[in-house]
Structure 1
Amino acid sequence: MLAEADGRFLDVRHEPDDPRGQADRTLRLRRLGKLGDMGLATERAPGVWELSERLEPTLREMGERGDIIRTMQKALRAEGAERDPMSFAIHDAAPATPIVGRVIDKNLSDELGEELTLVVDGIDGRTHHVVGIDPVRVAETRVGSIVEIGPPDSAGRPSDRAIASIAEGSVYRPSRHLEQARFEGRVPGGDYDGFVASHVRRLEALHRAGIVERIDADQWRIPKDFTTRAAAHDAGRGGWANVRILSSFDLERQVGADGATWLDRRLVGDAMSDLVPAGFGEQVREAMEQRRERLIEQGDATRRSDGRVSYRRNLIATLQEREVARVGAELAATKSSPFRAAADGEKVSRMFTGTVQLSSGKFAIVEKSHEFTLVPWRPGIERRLGREVTGVVQGGSVSWQLGRNRGPEL
Structure 2
Amino acid sequence: MIKGSFKTHAVGKHIGLKKHVDYIQRDGTDEHGGRAELYGSEIDQVEGLDERKSLANDVAKTWKDDRHHFRFIVAPEDAAQLADLRAYTTDLVTEMENELGTKLEWLAADHHNTANPHTHLIVRGVRDNGNDLVIPRRYLSYGMRRHAEQLVEAELGPMTQIEGRVRLAKTVEAERVTDLDRALSKQAEQGVIDLSGPAQRGRVWHRRLMIRRLRHLSVLGLAEPQGGGHWRIEPDSIDRLRQMGERGDIVKALHSAMKGQAPSIVTEDNIFDPNRLGSRSVTGRVTRFGKIDDTHSDGYVVIEALDGRLVHAAVADDETFETLQAGQVVTFEPHHKGPRSIDRSISEFADQNGGIYSEARHATEGDRVSADYARAHVRRLEALRRQKYVVRRPDGSWRIPSEYLDRAADYETERAKRLPTSVRRDSRLTLREMETARGVTWIDRKLTGSGNPVLRSKEIQAAMAKRVTVLKGMGFEKDEAGRLPSAALEKLEAIDLGDAASGISVETGKSYTPLGDFRHVDGIYSKAIERPSGKFAVIERSKDFTLVPWRPVMENRLSRSIRGRVSLSGISWDVIGRQGQAR
* TM score, norm. by length of structure 2: 0.44
Distance 2:218 2:443 in 1: 52
Asked if 1:152 is matched to 2:333, the reply is no
- Aligned twin of 2:557: 384
The 1:9/1:256 distance shift into structure 2, 3 A limit, reads same
- Aligned twin of 2:324: 142
Question: Any idea what SS the aligned residue of 2:462 has?
Answer: helix
Distance 2:322 2:526 in 1: 18
Query: Any conservation in 2 of the 1:342–1:393 contact (CA below 8 Å)?
Result: no
Residue 372 of structure 1: CA displacement? 1.6
- Aligned twin of 2:314: 130
- Aligned twin of 1:248: 428
Can you list the C-alpha shifts for 1:193-252, whole angstroms capped at 9, x where unaligned? Answer: xxxxxxxxxxxxx9xx888xxxxxxxxxxx998xx9999756413264554322221111
Distance 2:542 2:263 in 1: 54
- Aligned twin of 1:260: 440
2:463 counterpart (287, 306, 319)? 287
Query: Any conservation in 2 of the 1:347–1:393 contact (CA below 8 Å)?
Result: yes
Distance 1:111 1:233 in 2: 30
- Aligned twin of 1:89: 271
2:543 counterpart (336, 357, 370)? 370
Superposed, 1:202-241 pairs within 5 Å as 235-238=413-416, 240=419
Distance 1:108 1:370 in 2: 52
Question: Any idea what SS the aligned residue of 2:507 has?
Answer: coil
Tell me the number of residue pairs that the alignment of Structure 1 and Structure 2 aligns. 318
Query: Any conservation in 2 of the 1:106–1:143 contact (CA below 8 Å)?
Result: no
Letter in 1 for 2:234: E
Question: Any idea what SS the aligned residue of 2:523 has?
Answer: strand
Letter in 2 for 1:65: R
Distance 2:557 2:232 in 1: 61
1:53 counterpart (234, 237, 253)? 234
Query: Any conservation in 2 of the 1:343–1:393 contact (CA below 8 Å)?
Result: no
Listed as ranges, the gaps of 5+ residues in structure 1 are: 12-20, 157-205, 212-222
Residue 274 of structure 1: CA displacement? 5.3
The 1:35/1:347 distance shift into structure 2, 3 A limit, reads closer
Can you list the C-alpha shifts for 1:42-72, whole angstroms capped at 9, x where unaligned? Answer: 7999x99977637655444322321343345
The 1:82/1:251 distance shift into structure 2, 3 A limit, reads farther
Distance 1:81 1:356 in 2: 39
Can you list the C-alpha shifts for 1:364-403, whole angstroms capped at 9, x where unaligned? Answer: 0011122222111222122432111222456795443444
2:453 counterpart (273, 282, 285)? 273
Distance 2:556 2:397 in 1: 26
Question: Any idea what SS the aligned residue of 1:330 has?
Answer: helix
Query: Any conservation in 1 of the 2:520–2:566 contact (CA below 8 Å)?
Result: yes
Query: Any conservation in 1 of the 2:525–2:557 contact (CA below 8 Å)?
Result: yes
Query: Any conservation in 2 of the 1:69–1:85 contact (CA below 8 Å)?
Result: no
Residue 89 of structure 1: CA displacement? 0.3
Distance 2:409 2:575 in 1: 25
Letter in 2 for 1:100: T
Residue 315 of structure 1: CA displacement? 1.0
Residue 331 of structure 1: CA displacement? 2.3
Distance 1:344 1:383 in 2: 28
Query: Any conservation in 1 of the 2:479–2:485 contact (CA below 8 Å)?
Result: no
Question: Any idea what SS the aligned residue of 2:266 has?
Answer: helix
- Aligned twin of 2:474: 298
User: Which 10-residue stretch deviates more, 141-150 or 288-297?
Assistant: 141-150
Distance 2:264 2:426 in 1: 26
The 1:236/1:322 distance shift into structure 2, 3 A limit, reads same
- Aligned twin of 1:62: 244
- Aligned twin of 2:282: 99
The 1:66/1:398 distance shift into structure 2, 3 A limit, reads same
Query: Any conservation in 2 of the 1:392–1:398 contact (CA below 8 Å)?
Result: yes
Residue 8 of structure 1: CA displacement? 6.3
Query: Any conservation in 1 of the 2:528–2:537 contact (CA below 8 Å)?
Result: yes
Letter in 2 for 1:147: V
User: Which 10-residue stretch deviates more, 252-261 or 309-318?
Assistant: 309-318
Distance 1:343 1:257 in 2: 23
Question: Any idea what SS the aligned residue of 1:86 has?
Answer: coil
Question: Any idea what SS the aligned residue of 2:547 has?
Answer: strand
Letter in 2 for 1:150: P
Residue 36 of structure 1: CA displacement? 6.3
Residue 362 of structure 1: CA displacement? 0.8
Distance 1:5 1:134 in 2: 35
Distance 2:230 2:262 in 1: 42
Asked if 1:355 is matched to 2:517, the reply is no
Question: Any idea what SS the aligned residue of 1:265 has?
Answer: helix
Query: Any conservation in 2 of the 1:344–1:394 contact (CA below 8 Å)?
Result: no
- Aligned twin of 1:327: 500
User: Which 10-residue stretch deviates more, 369-378 or 228-237?
Assistant: 228-237
Letter in 1 for 2:248: G
Listed as ranges, the gaps of 5+ residues in structure 2 are: 1-179, 197-204, 343-382, 389-395, 399-403
